[in-house]
Amino acid sequence: MAAPLLSAALCGVRGGRAFGTAAALCRRAAPLGPMPNEDIDVSNLEALEKYRSFTRYFRLAEKESRKPRWWKTYRQHTSPPAEPKTDISLPRDKLLRAKEIKERKKILKENHQNAEMERAARLRTVLIPLDEVRAEWEKTSGPFHKQRVAEHCGIFRDLFKGATFTPWVTLRVEYSQEDEHFVPVYYGNMVAPSEASSPPAVSYEADKGSLWTLLLTNPDGHLRNTDSEYLHWLVTNIPGNDIKLGKEICHYLPPFPAMGTGYHRFIFLLFKQDCPIDFSEDIRPMPCHSLKMRTFSTFDFYRKHEDAMTPAGLAFFQCQWDSSVTWVFHQLLNMREPVFEFVRPPVYHPPQLKFPRHQPLRYLDRYRDTEEPTYGIY
Amino acid sequence: GLRFASTTATLKTETEADTSENEVVAPDFTNRNPRNLEQLALARKERGWKTTWPKREFWHRLRLERTQHYVEAFVERCNGDVVVSASTREWAIKRHLYSPKGVTACRNLGRVMAQRCLEAGINFVNFKAVIPWEYRCDSIQEFEKAMQEGGVILREPRRIYQ
């Protein structure tokens, strides 16, 4: 069946017009790997185990679709291959797992024997205390979850050029408002610039005698160069918990995401220092309102001091333009406010063919440089 | 008198010299934030999977997996990367529950998941990847109610085309 079709295609005998079929031109050969479902024995269908439910099949199908295959897949095409990343987090001592597991099993056993809990679960009235759950989560799986979200927001890619770290120290950042309530900063919150106009209250657990560095950067806001960031706040050699006792290298500048540029990330980084570090090269003048002085690169900064400093805490928020940003541009930075507009990338059209098949007359409009529509003019 | 005048004069020239270069702004601005376009509803959603189920026309999707031993909830992107997750296998949640499966577990998981989503800045999630005949069951209904009460909206905004 294949041979006469092949010759007809190549000579163009049928009706004078040849057609190309890449499949016919390739020589038939053995597949380069195992075909799917090859390992299932179809000779005896009665003896095979059936799915009997859609959920079982669907879950298995999802798992199979995520496996890497020898043929080219859409997943391989869209997502780049994962590179091994350097880990720059704080070293962690090996936890004693056996004792912890024993304690947890004991608590679970007590829960199971508790008749009240069983009744509440049966009558569906149980409501877990969310604050306690959050506190426990911060200690156990919080750092991994925060690392995952930070990975998706592109923080490690932009600040550290791919090196990741797990934020073991829980950094609590809260902006206090006039009416006594706090706007907290978690991992990816939305905070308005008017709420972030004064330095926030930062707290974290610290041993006595340890030194820390706090840094606030904006990797998205740079008005001249896309690859550099703006430094908003840098406090170094903080003894223990108290930010006020640390040396403020660069004073706090409120966020100023320009209008029309969308959401900017503002990232708080907490570094743990092994010894007092001399930051005299990085000192900015006291009221520093020059954007050139505030241009910063976390990668170079970290490279300079990487022997004495390790990243320990992370918190970031997303910020959009607000009327207080105009005040920052006019009063603090002493410049005219820039306003941007979103420009859509041009619509993609495949390369133009001399004889397009099954295309309407407006096919020509897509490739003409001037605007002369042939559709909708009558 | 004289000294005072000179100090004020030098301060002024310093601040002027500082901020005089601020005016220079590049005409093109590129925002590197990968979440920017989807938060502005301008990012592309994958529209091509209309003949299969579940469709991939979303920015973030909420997926609930219920097994015989535990319940898990994931918020993921269309390429499959998990952004936020919560499961009754985590010690933080397991210790307060009598059983890690069942309606109460789903409901409390919904409350915890809503809190985590809001903390991560995910306000709109797509909750269409549920099997229709399973959607009516108590646990999934309770989970959905808990997510909505927690403040997460289970409809993604339409992309802005114009």
pLDDT in tens, chain B (162 residues): 333 434 444 444 555 556 778 888 889 899 999 999 999 999 999 998 999 999 999 999 999 999 999 999 999 998 889 999 999 999 999 999 999 999 999 999 999 999 999 999 999 999 999 999 999 999 999 999 999 999 999 999 999 988
Q: What pLDDT is recorded for position B4?
A: 40
Q: DSSP string spanning A274-339?
A: SS----GGGPPPSS---HHHHEE-HHHHHHHTTTTEEEEEEEEEEE---HHHHHIIIIIS-SPPPB
* CA nearest to A206, candidates A168, A253, A164, A232: A168
Domain count, chain A: 1
The predicted structure's pLDDT at residue A120: 93
**B103's tokens:** 């309606």
- The mean pLDDT of A163-171, rounded to a whole number, is 92
- The C-alpha R_g of chain B, in whole angstroms, comes to 25
Residues in chain A: 378
Asked whether residue A256 carries a pLDDT value surpassing 50, the answer given is: yes
Determine whether the interchain pair B97/A111 forms a contact, defined as Cβ–Cβ distance below 8 Å. yes
Domain of residue A320: give its range.
167-332
Whether A191 maps to a domain, the answer reads: yes
Whether residue A39 lies inside any domain: the answer is no
Determine if residue B50 is left, alpha or beta; phi over 0 gives left, psi from -120 to 50 gives alpha, anything else beta. Answer: alpha
Under 8 Å between Cβ of B122 and B150: no
- What pLDDT was estimated at residue B7? 41
User: Looking at the domain assignment, is residue A234 inside a domain?
Assistant: yes
For residue A318, list chain B residues with Cβ-Cβ distance below 8 A: 33, 35, 39, 121
Q: Is the dihedral of CA B32, B37, B38, B39 positive or negative?
A: positive
Dist CA A359 CA A122 (whole Å): 64
Q: Per the CB < 8 Å rule, is A188 touching B119?
A: yes
**CA B84/CA B66 separation, integer angstroms:** 17
Q: What is the mean pLDDT of residues A309-335?
A: 91
Q: State yes or no: pLDDT of A93 exceeds 90.
A: no
The β-bridge partners of A175 are A183
Residue A16's pLDDT is 54
Q: What is the pLDDT of residue A23?
A: 57
> For residue A265, what pLDDT is reported?
93
A79 contact residues in B (CB cutoff 8 A)? 79
Q: Provide the percentage of residues in chain A whose pLDDT is more than 70.
A: 93
CA-based nearest residue in chain A for residue B15: A289
pLDDT of amino acid A294: 87
- Cα–Cα distances in angstroms (integers) from residue A322 to residues A195, A196, A260, A355, B20, in the given order: 10, 11, 11, 53, 24
What tokens appear for B59 in the block? 């920015």
Residue A251 has pLDDT above 80, yes or no: yes
Which pLDDT score is estimated for A13? Answer: 47
- Domains of chain B (ranges, CATH numbers): 52-150 (3.30.420.80)
Q: Stretch A364-378: mean pLDDT, rounded?
A: 85
- The percentage of residues in chain A with a pLDDT greater than 90, rounded to a whole number, is 54
Closest CA–CA distance from residue B63 to any residue of chain A (Å): 12
- Segment (H or E) for A59: helix A54-65
* DSSP character string of chain B: -HHHHHHHHHHHHHHHHHHHGGG---S------TTHHHHTT-S------TTSSS----SSEEEEEE-SS-EEEEEE-TTS-EEEEEETTSHHHHTT-S-SSSHHHHHHHHHHHHHHHHHTT--B-B---S-HHHHTSHHHHHHHHHHHHHT-BSSPPPP---
Look at residue A162 in the predicted model and tell me its pLDDT: 81
Q: Which of residues 69-98 of B touch A (CB under 8 A)?
A: 77, 79-85, 90-98
Average pLDDT over residues A306-322: 91
Q: How far apart are CA B141 and CA B147, in angstroms?
A: 10
In 3D space, the residue among B69, B105, B53, B133 whose CA is nearest the CA of residue A53 turns out to be B133
pLDDT at B1: 33
Alpha-carbon dihedral angle through residues A89, A94, A96, A101, given to the nearest 10 degrees = 50
For residue B102, list chain A residues with Cβ-Cβ distance below 8 A.
121
pLDDT attached to residue A24: 57
| B119:A186 CB<8 A | yes
The pLDDT tens digits for A329-355 are 999 888 889 999 999 988 899 999 999
The answer, yes or no, to whether residue A63 has pLDDT greater than 60, is yes
Q: Among A59, A130, A152, whose Cβ lies nearest the Cβ of B111?
A: A130
Nearest CA in chain A to B80: A66
- Contact: A152, B77; criterion CB under 8 Å: yes
Q: Is residue A318 part of a domain?
A: yes
Among candidate residues A287, A256, A235, A255, the one with its CA nearest the CA of residue A175:
A255
Confidence of residue A141 (pLDDT cuts 50, 70, 90): very high
pLDDT band at residue A280, thresholds of 50, 70 and 90?
Answer: confident
Distance CA B104, CA A128 (A): 10
Tell me how far apart the terminal alpha carbons of chain A are, to the nearest angstrom. 52
pLDDT of residue A6: 53
Contacts A120 to B, Cβ<8 Å: 98, 104
- A117 vs B contacts (CB less than 8 Å): 98
- In chain B, residues with a C-beta closer than 8 Å to the C-beta of A290 are 18-19, 21-22
Task: Say which of A126, A188, A220 has its CB closest to residue B120.
Answer: A188
Q: Is A198 a member of any domain?
A: yes
Beta strands B61-66 and B71-76 are antiparallel
pLDDT value at residue B9: 43
Q: Give the gyration radius of chain A's Cα atoms.
A: 31
Enter the pTM of the model.
0.87
Residue B2: per-residue pLDDT: 34
The token duo for A100 is 């912890």
Does any CB of chain A come closer than 8 Å to the CB of residue B147? no
Tell me the CATH number at A213. Answer: 3.90.280.10
Do residue B121 and residue A189 have CB atoms under 8 angstroms apart? yes
- pLDDT (0 to 100) of residue B14: 53
Query: How many angstroms separate the CA atoms of B42 and B157, rounded?
Result: 10
* Residue A155 covered by a domain: no
Cα A257 from Cα A236, distance rounded (Å): 25
Residue A10 lies in a domain: no
Q: Compute the average pLDDT of residues A202-213.
A: 89
